[in-house]
Structure 1
Amino acid sequence: MGLKGFVEGGIASIVAGCSTHPLDLVKVRMQLQGETITPAVSALRPAVALQGAAGVVTLPHHPALSPPRRPGPISVGAQILRAEGPAALFSGVSATVLRQTLYSTTRMGLYDILKKRWSASGDGGSLPLHRKVAAGLIAGGIGAAVGNPADLAMVRMQADGRLPPAERRNYKSVLDAIGRMARQEGVGSLWRGSSLTVNRAMIVTASQLATYDQAKEAILRRRGQGADGLGTHVAASFAAGLVAAAASNPVDVVKTRVMNMKVEKGAAPPYAGAVDCALKTVRAEGPMALYKGFIPTVSRQGPFTVVLFVTLEQVRKLLKDF
């Protein structure tokens, strides 16, 4: 019975991850907008640094020197299509498949097991909200730790196209990415940003799965068990996606930047860690920088969650006799 939850959750997660991959790629590109490549220069903001014969000269900030308004998700998507072609929208999709296989299969299966064990009847139904949240936190944290190498590879593969050709990593596949990272940066590098991945996954899983269950139960209490169909699944899953996106976006921005940073041998990394990255981001770009990519996050998290739970409900019906 326990293994069945892993299979059902894994199938639904892979379908949802692949179908919404282009939206996730746009989100990652937007989260990296405005990121300063050299920390030393970012420290000079909001002043402007100029290199002259006498060295670095710091000029006061002037509105005319402000950066142009950054493009929205549609503009970013169109830019990717023009510069890199339609196939670029699926950059890193092999990493998405591996990530969903490791991370989401684990979190969905563990959540199902915990929910059934903690419910009064033992069938996973009518669990108090705080227990659903606790089950989501535990399942999400463990799933993220298992899937971090694939998550790291996915972020890098999605971000590669924004770099100049000479600086691109050009990973051939998720296995090539993981292998090269292990050889060039050490095996430990595969868990770079893992604390952020775990924190984000705990927030996403707790908010997403608990909200879905709670919303679905509320609708069925109001309309009766006969309403347990597609309309209820879509409404509950959309609410879950919205809550999960709002709760996780700040952690997601920091995670994306820490995972994507280039660490040269013998040089200090651009960010010393998650807190340092968050502080530098806020200082250089303002507090709302932590909500960069929020529209594509909602645009991706909403459809992803809808596809995830609608597919999950259908897979459960198909496997109900197993």
Structure 2
Amino acid sequence: MGIKGFVEGGIASIVAGCSTHPLDLIKVRMQLQGESNPARAAAPQPIHNLRPAFAYNSHSATLVAPPPPPATVRAGPISVGVKIFQTEGVKALFSGVSATVLRQTLYSTTRMGLYEILKVKWADPNSGNLPLARKIFAGLVAGGVGAAVGNPADVAMVRMQAGGRDYKNVIDAISKMARSEGVLSLWRGSSLTVNRAMIVTASQLASYDQIKEAILDRHLMKDGLGTHVTASFAAGFVASVASNPIDVIKTRVMNMKVEAGRDPPYTGALDCALKTVRAEGPMALYKGFIPTISRQGPFTVVLFVTLEQIRKVLKDY
């Protein structure tokens, strides 16, 4: 397999990443909805920004409490996408696509190629098959290594998708982060990225192989497009359920703005998780799940269908 596995996985990942990028952008925007900034909340507010505890009613000569602030309305994926299109233009739906290309080139090429190498290396010598437990372990290892390699592009992609920063492209984003926040900022949230990648890779690649093998062994379908689509969509669902909580925390940690002279909004992943749950409830960890599965499903389908076609083209090489 060697280099071939990296080439096949890399090409398939870039195609899948670019084709589903707008869905990923909507997911990031939804995950940031309702986020509070503890650093700003703790800072003293100007007097003109303070709401009075009570107001004087001249008609009844009594003090009455002011009306509560309006409740925050959570927007769904369609309304978020429409709002981005209306306020920022269609081009905004592809904000950070250069970072997606770099991320897939670094992260997905590494994880896909390494997984194939481990599959061959750890396969049963008699049957040639890889047991499910070994598939999961191979996915954990491959995902962790790939995430460590691709973290700078991941941070840049999240920030470019979130908006509010003046980045021309992924190289500009990485260079500005390194200059203003230090080189180590490129690995901000790396523990989350690695954990998420391990879970996604293990659940996505292992479940695809396992489901595909089950379909073929039971002669439910032939080894063709139908089998590939079925197995890949199921794998995308499994990966979405397993990874969404970590993905929410990763997005918020990577996107946080660290202001000079103030404590960062989050000191780490655990602090972010606790503050998110306390402020917004446990289900906040599944914010953006609909666009996550809406993106992860098509992404996984495009990934594996493209991968299978590339394997056919390159089978003689």
When the two structures are superposed, what TM-score results if normalisation uses the length of structure 2?
A: 0.91
Structure 1 unaligned runs (5+)?
Answer: 44-48, 161-167
SS at match of 2:263: coil
The residue number in structure 1 matching 2:13 is 13
Instruction: Find 2:107's aligned residue among 93, 103, 106.
Output: 103
SS at match of 2:167: coil
The residue number in structure 2 matching 1:46 is none
Identity over the aligned pairs, expressed in percent?
74
Distance in 2, matches of 1:66 and 1:252, equals 29
The residue number in structure 1 matching 2:262 is 267
Q: Does 1:113 align with 2:108?
A: no
Instruction: Find 2:171's aligned residue among 168, 175, 186.
Output: 175
Instruction: Find 1:77's aligned residue among 78, 81, 96.
Output: 81
Contact 1:50 1:57 in 2 (8 A): no
Q: 1:41 Cα shift?
A: 3.3
Contact 1:51 1:57 in 2 (8 A): no
The residue number in structure 2 matching 1:94 is 98
Q: 1:38 Cα shift?
A: 3.7
The residue number in structure 2 matching 1:135 is 138
SS at match of 1:127: coil
Closer, same or farther: CA 120–284 of 1 in aligned 2, 3 Å:
same
Closer, same or farther: CA 64–15 of 1 in aligned 2, 3 Å:
same
Closer, same or farther: CA 51–266 of 1 in aligned 2, 3 Å:
closer
Q: Given residue 105 of structure 1, which amino acid in structure 2 is its aligned partner?
A: T
The residue number in structure 1 matching 2:155 is 152
Q: 1:68 Cα shift?
A: 3.3
Contact 1:50 1:56 in 2 (8 A): no
Distance in 2, matches of 1:3 and 1:154, equals 27
Structure 1 segments, 4+ long, off by >6 Å, are 53-59
The residue number in structure 2 matching 1:234 is 229
Residue-by-residue CA offset, 1:104-151 (whole Å, 9 max, x unaligned): 00000000000000002499x521100000000000000000000000
Residue-by-residue CA offset, 1:40-80 (whole Å, 9 max, x unaligned): 6389xxxxx99768978779xx9964623311000000000
Structure 2 unaligned runs (5+)?
Answer: 55-65
Q: 1:294 Cα shift?
A: 0.2
The residue number in structure 1 matching 2:206 is 210
Distance in 2, matches of 1:185 and 1:18, equals 28
Residue-by-residue CA offset, 1:211-239 (whole Å, 9 max, x unaligned): 00000000000117x70000000000000
Residue-by-residue CA offset, 1:267-302 (whole Å, 9 max, x unaligned): 211100000000110111110000000000000000
Closer, same or farther: CA 107–57 of 1 in aligned 2, 3 Å:
farther
Contact 1:8 1:315 in 2 (8 A): yes
Contact 1:171 1:177 in 2 (8 A): yes
Q: Given residue 71 of structure 2, which amino acid in structure 1 is its aligned partner?
A: P
Distance in 2, matches of 1:318 and 1:42, equals 59
Closer, same or farther: CA 14–63 of 1 in aligned 2, 3 Å:
farther
Instruction: Find 2:315's aligned residue among 305, 317, 320.
Output: 320
Q: Which deviates more, 205-214 or 62-71?
A: 62-71
The residue number in structure 1 matching 2:242 is 247
Closer, same or farther: CA 169–128 of 1 in aligned 2, 3 Å:
same
Q: Does 1:192 align with 2:195?
A: no
When the two structures are superposed, what TM-score results if normalisation uses the length of structure 1?
A: 0.90
Distance in 1, matches of 2:50 and 2:171, equals 45
Contact 2:34 2:72 in 1 (8 A): no
Q: Does 1:220 align with 2:216?
A: yes
Distance in 1, matches of 2:263 and 2:306, equals 45
Aligned residues: 307
